[in-house]
Amino acid sequence: MMNNPIRDSAPAPAPAAGTLPGRRPRQERSRQRVENILAIALRLMVEHGAEALAMREIARRAEVQISSIYQYFPSKSAIIRELAQRDLARVRQLLRDAVDTLLAAPKAPPIVAAVDHLVDAYFAHYRDQPEALAVWAGAQSDPSLRELDQDDTRSTAEFLVAPLLRLLGRPKWDGVHALSLLISEMTGAAARLALSLESPLREQLIAQHKAMLVAALESHKARSAHPAS
């Protein structure tokens, strides 16, 4: 995050030799201004929630003209969309790293260990980062942004197909995509519901979700020796 606001009146540095006049400084200054706007918007969402997010307050804290913000983001929804897309990218990378860790060994891990590892990693991302939770809540509160979550669910499901087949001991299975889609949707919903609860109910809910996933996966794995099933 930027510590100091980027003022519209800041003088442009002299152009470097061999470059188009002003192009590089303008691009860098614009990038810094965008990052500052996003950082301030994120702080406001954590402090007051997405519904209270106002373009004028962002401009005031950034010490820029409100027109400077509209130059990059035509609406509040556009700011939340950018923040949500960045967070979803972080979650996807988190899941990829968690799966890589699980499947690094030649032999697939026990299903219960895999479920614990993946669900805990996903849940911890939102539990330990109020910024991530604020962005998710903001995206959910805006009907025009809800498709981001749906697209992410489908993307996560497609990614989980190969790891699921390995956990189940199946080289292929027509039902794996439907199972992966259900796991992705249910895990997101369970984690976010849990975050709205107090302990110990929060931990109990996550434990119950894990138990259901393990039971379903173990059942499918037991059938893998019987292709007709």
Q: Are residues 164 and 192 in the same domain?
A: yes
Q: Tell me the pTM.
A: 0.80
Predicted local confidence at residue 164, as pLDDT: 96
Q: Give 52-73 pLDDT, tens digit per residue.
A: 999 999 999 999 999 999 999 9
Q: Give me the mean pLDDT over the 63-85 stretch.
A: 94
The pLDDT mean for the chain works out to 86
Residues 5 and 31 both lie in one domain? yes
Residue with more model confidence, 52 or 228: 52
Q: Give the span between the Cα atoms of 90 and 201, in whole angstroms.
A: 27
Q: Mark which of 74, 101, 126 sits at the end of a domain.
A: 74
Dihedral sign for Cα atoms in the order 100, 134, 58, 143: positive
Q: pLDDT tier at 228 (50, 70, 90 boundaries)?
A: low
CB 5 within 8 A of CB 63: yes
Instruction: For residue range 130-146, list pLDDT tens digits in order.
Output: 999 999 999 988 888 88
pLDDT attached to residue 105: 84
Angstrom distance (rounded) from CA 47 to CA 214: 37
Of the residues 74, 97, 131, the one at which a domain ends: 74
Measured CA to CA, the distance from residue 183 to residue 189 in angstroms comes to 10
